[in-house]
Each structure stands twice: as C-alpha cells, then as structure tokens.
Chains A and B, each alone.
Chain A
Amino acid sequence: MKLNLKIWRQKNAKDNGRFENHQVVANEHMSFLEMLDVLNETLISSQKEPVAFEHDCREGICGTCSLVINGQPHGPQNGTTTCQLHMRHFKDGETIVIEPYRAKAFPVMKDLVVDRSAFDRIIQAGGFVSVDAGQAQDGNAVPIGKEIASKAFDAAACIGCGACVAACPNASAMLFVSAKVSHLALLPQGQVEAKKRAQNMVHQMDEEGFGMCSNVTACEAECPKGISVENIARLNREYIGASFTANK
C-alpha cells in the first residue's frame, strides 16, 4: 500500500514547526510504528534527518508511544496504543496526518516527541502509599474483596501515555489523576492517606498548567486502556470530601 504522510516537523522546543509531506510504501501487516521505521530508513539512506518519535515496548504497555493520527490520539482504533495499531486499518492511497500531542503542559521537544514529565511530578505529589521496604505485614492479613481488587486494577491499568490530555479540548489531566487517586483510594492500604493525596495531586495538576474538566469525556473515548470517567467522579468526591474534612 502507498500512503501519503503529512508529518509535523519541529527542530526543537523553540522552533515554530511545520507540516512536511512524505510518501511511504507499506504493507497491511505492519504496525504503524514499523511503517514509520520504513520511512526513517528511507530518509536516512538519502542522508536526510529521520522523524523523531517515541516508542519502546511496542506491545502497548509502557506508555512511551503517543502521536495524534488523523486527529485522534493513538489513531482510529479503540482501546489501542499507536504501537499496536496496524496498517490494515488504513486504505491504500490514504493521506495520514501525524502530529504530536498538543497541550501546554506537554511541550514539544522535537518533531513528534513531547515532554510528559508533568505526570511524574503529579505522582510525586502524592500518588503513592507511604510504606518503606521491610514494614509490611503479611499480604493476606487484610482481605480485599475480589470486586474491589478488580476495580482498583481497572484504574491502575493506566499506562501514563497522556492520550487523555491530548484528547481533551481543555488539555485536562483529570482522567490520569483520577485513575491514580481511585486505584489507591479503593484499597485499604491507600485509604490512610487518601484525603491528602487527592488534594496534593490536584494541586500539582493545576500547577503544571493542565486545563479544567468540563465533562466532555473524550479522554475515556481515546484512552487505550479503557480507563473510565467514573474515576473522575470518584476523584471529585474524594477531593470535595477532603476539602471539608482533611487536616490542613
């Protein structure tokens, strides 16, 4: 299959950036990133600069790959990261527009690579249980209902890719923050610090320049791991509850 690519090129954070047109010959069994590998090999063989994009595990779990493909974070297929998207979902002769995530809190570093370190700082603000190695009691000492464990897992399945932010018209990070707050607040081990955690993480999220949530729910639609907006409702409950009752 022959494809026309319209790719965002940007030298570095200070450069303005622009779209560049390329053609590539691919086949339908390739993954989207393998198609970009082919493009880069062609560019390198003609001594041109390859397109910078991020990727690592290529099995949809590390959260390194990103890209906005034809206007959708991680492309057109639901519940799929870019690395797991295959070319069989595109048509021969199609024009594909490839851009980086667009969000104030995720500045572009080069071409399709953005800086997502804001997410790390949000976790550092409270996305953990304060327990040192060696302090733990027996793993079965506190029973946890199968359904609660399963719900906590659903929230913990977030891969931190940032698609929720890229999908949101406000570039809000509410889905990401709420997934972590929910994961830990649902479990007895995380409940001790739940209030402080919700407040601190929300505070850091605002500091980083993410937008407000206006219930568009595009985040859930584009999330490759199907993280539910129910988590946002839970975050709101946790946050409001904490605002009235937490010790400051």
Chain B
Amino acid sequence: MELNGNVPSGPIAEKWTKYKSSMPLVSPDNKRRLDIIVVGSGLAGAAAASSLGELGYNVKCFTFHDSPRRAHSIAAQGGINAAKNYKNDGDSVYRLFYDTIKGGDYRAREANVHRLAEVSVDIIDQCVAQGVPFAREYGGMLDNRSFGGTQVQRTFYARGQTGQQLLIGAYQSLSRQISLGKVTMYNRHEMLDVVLVDGKARGIITRNLVNGKLERHAAHAVVLATGGYGNVFYLSTNAMMCNVTAAWRAVRRGAYMANPCYTQIHPTCIPQYGDYQSKLTLMSESLRNDGRVWVPKKMEDAKAIREGKKKGVDIPEADRDYYLERRYPAFGNLVPRDIASRAAKVVCDQGLGIVPTGLGVYLDFADAIQKYGKSKAHSMNLENPSAKQVWELGQKVVEEKYGNLFEMYEKITGEDPYTNPMKIYPAVHYTMGGLWVDYNLQTNIPGLFALGECNFSDHGANRLGASALMQGLADGYFVIPYTIGTFLANEIRTPKFDTNSQAFVDAENDVRSRLNGFITNGGKQSAESFHRRLGKIMWEYCGMARNAEGLTKARKMIQALKEEFYADLYVPGTADEFNPELEKATRVADFLELGELMCIDALQREESCGGHFREEHQTEEGEALRDDVGMAYVSAWGWKDTSLEPELNKEPLVYENIKVAARSYK
C-alpha cells in the first residue's frame, strides 16, 4: 500500500504557517471536555503534556519511572540546535533544514524537517524563559558551539548536561500543570497495550509497577512519546529501562513501524571492557570540536599499545593516522556520526585498534590543550610562558568546557584523559526509525500520535548531533498542540469513554494472560540472559555493517531464540507485586519481535544510507551507496500478527526543494 504523509500544499517555507492558520481549531470551552493520554515524560512527552494542559485539555501523563524527571532525555550531553544565527556566520532556517536532510542521507520527509528548522528558534526562547541555564558569553548573550555535519555554530548548550537542563525545564512546566490540576501524573505506571474503539485509539492498559494492578485509562486521543529502541542491542548508551514495548504494542494493534533498521551508532563511546557489562557510556560529540581522532599508522605500534608495552603519548606525530582529517578534509573530526563510526570500524578491522579487544581508537586533546594554553597565556600578557604553564592554562580551558565528561571518563576507566588520550569506540545510541506518522504526527491509527524518538519522521537514515533534543521539544511544545486539533476538532461531541466496554475488557485480559504466561512459564533462564543473546545477534549482523547472508541468518537465530525464550524463561515472584524481572520479561519479548523486523527491513533495503550500511552497496572508497531510483521511500511495516510475514507499505520521498546528491563531507 502507498502511504500519504498528508503534507500541506504550497511552497515549503510557507507550508507550516499557512497550515496553522487554516487548520480546524477546538474552542477553549470544548478543550475542557476532551481528554488526552500522553505516555512518556521525556522531552517530547513532558513538553506535550504541559503544553496540552496549558491549552486547557485534560491530560493524563504516564511514566514507568518513579518521577517524570528521570526520563532518558536527561542523559543527553552536548546540545540543542537552533537556526538563530546569533553567530552571524550564515545560518538560517533553510540551512538547518538543508543540513538535516543531507545529514539524514536524503531519507527524511522534507516538510517535517523544514517545520522542525522553523520552530527550532522558538524552542530556545521557550527554554530560556523557563530558566534553563544555557551557557553564556561574558556580555550575557547565549553561547554556541559546533556539532557534526554542519559548518556553522548553532548548538546551544548547558555545559555537558544540556539534556538534563532541558528536561528539568520541561519537568517543571509539567509540574506546574500538575499543580494546576490540568495534568494528572501517573508515576510507576507502564503502558502495556493501546485500546482501539471503532478503529480509533481511545485508551491504554497500564500496569501499576508498585502493586501490579492492571488499570484501564480512556481518552479521546493517545500520544506516545516513549523514546527509542536502541536497547534491542542490549549494550547501548540508552538507560537500562528504555524499551520498545509501548510502540511495539501499538504495532501489534495495527500501527506501522517505519524504517526500523535505521540505527545510529555513535562514534565516541567508552569501549567495551567485559562480558558482565550492562551498558555503554557516551562521550559527547561536542568533544570532537577539540579532540582529534587517530590510530597508529604502524601495525606494530598498535599491537604494542594493546599489549600495554606502549602508550598513546609514546607514538610520535609522524606515526599517527588522523584518519578523519585525512579522509574528510572539509569537515575533519566533525563529520556526521555514521561516517565517523564506520571510519573507526575500518581502521579497527585493519588491526589498528588500541584497546585489548582491538575495538578502540584515540580521541586526543593534547593539541587543544596547547592551543588554548597559548591563547590564554597571550591574553594574560605572559611573555615566553613555560611549557608547564601553557599546559596548565590549556588544561583549565579544556576542563571548563568538558570537565564533567572528563571526570565521568576517569571514573569509569580509572585513566586520566588530560594526560593520556581518551579511548573510544562506536556504540548504539539512537534509533531514527520508529512509528510511522504523517505531517500531523498521527500514526496510521486515527487518534494515535507519536512524538520524539518514538516516531520516524525527521532524521532520515542518520541523525545529526544536537537534533534529538530539538525534535523532542519541537514536537512537544510547538507541533502537537496544533496538529492534535485536526483530529480532536471532529471529536468535540464524543462523550467520555466507558472503560467497562468490551474493547477495554479484552485488552486488559490480553495483557493479564501475557503476564501470567511469563510468571507461570517455569523455565530456567532469566530475561536478562535472553536479552544479552539477542543483543549479540543484532550487533553482529544488524550493526555497523550488514549483508544479505548475515541478515538472513540473524532472522533465523532470533526466531530460534524467541522459541527458546517462551520455552525456558524464568520469572521469579508474582504479577501482583513490585517485580522488575517481570517488567524485563515483557520488554525482552517485544525486543525479540522488533529485532526480527529490523533484520527484515535491513535485508529489504538494498542500498546503503546513513546508519544503514549494506556491504553489497558501497563505492570503491568504501562510502555508502544509495539507490535514489529504487529505494527513495519510507518503509512502513505492518505486523499485527507475527505468525505471518510483515506487510510492507511505502511512502515515496519526494524532494521538491533540495537536490538529491551524493553525500560528501570531503
């Protein structure tokens, strides 16, 4: 089936403005009669719940955390993009739009991305007004830095904790609406199903994680803002509890999952060090503003470093390969994430890795310390400063910029990154794929909306740095408050829903029997152990490089693992109590199905684009080779009944404003 993105007509720069002025509205009085469920309280969810509450709707907001402030948006480090052009360096809405489309390797919907670039400027204003303590210059103006894939400085930041500060801003707005009675907050409630009445999303089934009670909640519309599914790889930079269950339950009720194979592997994470490891830690992309990525040129040096006989600092300048600067002179260390990650894989595959596992490269700040030290000495009128003085001054500047990241690195690795270059390796970080939504952010199920990382809409096949925070807040503060009206304007006469209706009873029974199935399964292995095994399959065959043979094999392996899961899963305790193992089991069960769909999607997509690299489709220099004739579409998979093959729906990607070109950062 061909899908329609419902993009409004007109020139791209006027679409959103015109659409906003002509879309159906819900009057203030009618808003009071309408109920909206928001699932998730991260940037997108908290922003949506508070903004919809401000408008006058009755909002119920759900999170499985103990508090809305814990959502994983909090861990975003580097920053948030906005086309403010405060730096006077040629930025504009068009340029942010263009960079994002190109960064996404021409696999995102033009109109959505342009809208994102337009509202980006409002987000910064909104956050400043909420009291977000962004970095400032001495004159009191907002400071900016650079991120990958751009040649302007448009990234706003709050030290290395931008996500935390933005989330706390959204959390505080949400808290205000809770205190005003416009939002009812349900902490420690996990959504386990979406309820459809006459084909429209009208409610959810949740489990109270404290006492295990299943609850039915009804509303006129349901908004999912439940994040990404990177944890399907088990090891990722996602928080431990991030999962796909809410989105996947929607898929099982008929929603489409779009481009599930587009996974972002972030180039700068702390390398893996042991089998017991539970997660990988990101080192912000902002570090690539000043850090230089390299490996030794000589095989014997790399080997000596791996065996602990040499250190990075022992390798003379001439024997280092700054491979990003060499391969991509125009963007250097600030190439987009997918490109930096693959380049790291290439050198490590050649045997030049510098950690015992062979999977690690250097991120070196020695030059930055020198550069900043000299400039600081100059500004202090120090004549002929000693090498030690320069180093100390430079170290201070670097500490001011990245102190908390360096500290975190030292805590985890026990090594001092000021004196020894950091060791990094790519890790799963973000998922561009997600629930298919139209221009209104509505899924193919009427009344069911998806925001933030949970949807697929804005990042194409690769997301640029500092764009996730932008999208989450754009969707929550400035898009859904308008677009939800296009659905709700036709619902003003719809009375409140009875949660004793058959649809709710059936959905609750489904959930109960699924949970009881896990509890009474009577096997031997923990959910965690299955999750680790799934992750290994995904990383091996559906990770940084994929091929048809591996993907076919992976699908079979996942099917076998799923069978073993249902035969030999052991969940301790009961369903009527606080039971984290039961929570894990429900999530792993859904990851198993999603993982299979990711392999199917990756196999079907016969091209390389962004985070999806098929070894069969590459140029002679090893760059990704897209197929703009055959594959310029969104793959939206329907998979209600997983005993059948999934059904592929396509939304053609039409580029009216940007010339589709080979993506070059050289």
Contact between chains at B67 and A34 (CB < 8 Å): no
> With an 8 A cutoff between CB atoms, is B513 at the interface?
no
Contact between chains at B281 and A120 (CB < 8 Å): no
**CB proximity to A under 8 Å, residues B63-108:** 65-70, 72, 74-75, 84, 86
> With an 8 A cutoff between CB atoms, is B179 at the interface?
yes
A216 CB to closest chain B CB (Å) equals 26
> With an 8 A cutoff between CB atoms, is A27 at the interface?
yes
> With an 8 A cutoff between CB atoms, is B317 at the interface?
no
Q: In the assembled complex, which residues on chain B have CB atoms less than 8 Å from the CB atom of A88?
A: 414
One digit per residue, 1 when the CB lies within 8 angstroms of any chain B CB and 0 when it does not, for chain A 106-136 equals 0001100101110110011101111111111
Q: In the assembled complex, which residues on chain B have CB atoms less than 8 Å from the CB atom of A116?
A: 66-67
> With an 8 A cutoff between CB atoms, is A169 at the interface?
no
**CB proximity to B under 8 Å, residues A132-183:** 132-140, 143-146, 149-150, 152-153, 156-157, 159-160, 183
Q: How far is the CA of A193 from the CA of B50 in the complex (A)?
A: 19
Q: Which of A109, A143, A152 contacts B210 (CB 8 A)?
A: A109
Contact between chains at A189 and B131 (CB < 8 Å): yes
Q: In the assembled complex, which residues on chain B have CB atoms less than 8 Å from the CB atom of A109?
A: 210, 578
Contact between chains at B164 and A61 (CB < 8 Å): yes
Contact between chains at B136 and A86 (CB < 8 Å): no
A132 CB to closest chain B CB (Å) equals 4
Q: In the assembled complex, which residues on chain B have CB atoms less than 8 Å from the CB atom of A130?
A: 176
Stretch touching chain B among A52-60, A205-213, A229-237: A52-60
Q: How far is the CA of A124 from the CA of B50 in the complex (A)?
A: 13
One digit per residue, 1 when the CB lies within 8 angstroms of any chain A CB and 0 when it does not, for chain B 252-283 equals 00000000000000000000011011110110
> With an 8 A cutoff between CB atoms, is B187 at the interface?
yes
Q: In the assembled complex, which residues on chain B have CB atoms less than 8 Å from the CB atom of A80?
A: 411
Q: Smallest CB-CB separation from B76: which chain A residue?
A: A61
Stretch touching chain A among B138-146, B378-386, B501-509, B545-553: B138-146
Contact between chains at B176 and A115 (CB < 8 Å): no
Contact between chains at B72 and A152 (CB < 8 Å): no
Q: Which of B276, B478, B573 contacts A37 (CB 8 A)?
A: B276
> With an 8 A cutoff between CB atoms, is B581 at the interface?
yes
Q: How far is the CA of A150 from the CA of B400 in the complex (A)?
A: 11
- Number of CB contacts from chain A to chain B under 8 A: 208
Contact between chains at A115 and B66 (CB < 8 Å): yes
Number of residues in B with C-beta < 8 Å to the partner? 80
Stretch touching chain A among B118-126, B191-199, B360-368, B649-657: B118-126
> With an 8 A cutoff between CB atoms, is B577 at the interface?
yes
Residue with the greatest number of chain A CB neighbours at <10 A, chosen from B51, B140, B274? B140
Contact between chains at B75 and A61 (CB < 8 Å): yes
> With an 8 A cutoff between CB atoms, is A20 at the interface?
no
Given contacts A86-B412, A146-B136, contact A136 B69 (CB under 8 A): no
Contact between chains at B141 and A143 (CB < 8 Å): yes
Stretch touching chain A among B165-173, B616-624, B633-641: B165-173
Contact between chains at A124 and B570 (CB < 8 Å): no
Contact between chains at A56 and B72 (CB < 8 Å): yes
> With an 8 A cutoff between CB atoms, is A248 at the interface?
no
Q: In the assembled complex, which residues on chain A have CB atoms less than 8 Å from the CB atom of B84?
A: 139
Given contacts A29-B274, A140-B142, contact A131 B414 (CB under 8 A): no
Q: How far is the CA of A146 from the CA of B143 in the complex (A)?
A: 10
Q: How far is the CA of A72 from the CA of B577 in the complex (A)?
A: 29
A144 CB to closest chain B CB (Å) equals 5
> With an 8 A cutoff between CB atoms, is B54 at the interface?
yes
Q: How far is the CA of A41 from the CA of B275 in the complex (A)?
A: 13
One digit per residue, 1 when the CB lies within 8 angstroms of any chain A CB and 0 when it does not, for chain B 149-169 equals 000000000110100110010
> With an 8 A cutoff between CB atoms, is B128 at the interface?
yes
> With an 8 A cutoff between CB atoms, is B604 at the interface?
no
> With an 8 A cutoff between CB atoms, is B416 at the interface?
no
Contact between chains at B239 and A132 (CB < 8 Å): no
Q: How far is the CA of A43 from the CA of B138 in the complex (A)?
A: 56
B296 CB to closest chain A CB (Å) equals 24
Q: How far is the CA of A58 from the CA of B407 in the complex (A)?
A: 15
> With an 8 A cutoff between CB atoms, is B137 at the interface?
yes
Q: How far is the CA of A150 from the CA of B172 in the complex (A)?
A: 20
> With an 8 A cutoff between CB atoms, is B351 at the interface?
no
> With an 8 A cutoff between CB atoms, is B47 at the interface?
yes
Contact between chains at B179 and A124 (CB < 8 Å): yes
Q: Which of A44, A113, A133 contacts B50 (CB 8 A)?
A: A133
**CB proximity to A under 8 Å, residues B37-59:** 47, 50-51, 54
Q: In the assembled complex, which residues on chain A have CB atoms less than 8 Å from the CB atom of B133?
A: 149-150, 152-153, 156, 183, 187
Contact between chains at A143 and B178 (CB < 8 Å): no
Q: How far is the CA of A45 from the CA of B569 in the complex (A)?
A: 11
One digit per residue, 1 when the CB lies within 8 angstroms of any chain A CB and 0 when it does not, for chain B 473-504 equals 00001100100000000000000000000000
A56 CB to closest chain B CB (Å) equals 4
Contact between chains at B126 and A136 (CB < 8 Å): yes
> With an 8 A cutoff between CB atoms, is A71 at the interface?
no
Ordered by A's residue number, 5 sampled pairs between the chains whose C-beta atoms are within 8 Å are: A31-B278, A57-B239, A129-B172, A139-B134, A146-B136
Report which B residues bind A (CB closer than 8 A). 47, 50-51, 54, 65-70, 72, 74-75, 84, 86, 122, 124-131, 133-142, 158-159, 161, 164-165, 168, 171-173, 175-176, 178-179, 185, 187, 210, 239-241, 273-274, 276-279, 281-282, 407-408, 411-412, 414, 477-478, 481, 524, 526, 528-529, 570, 572-573, 577-578, 580-581
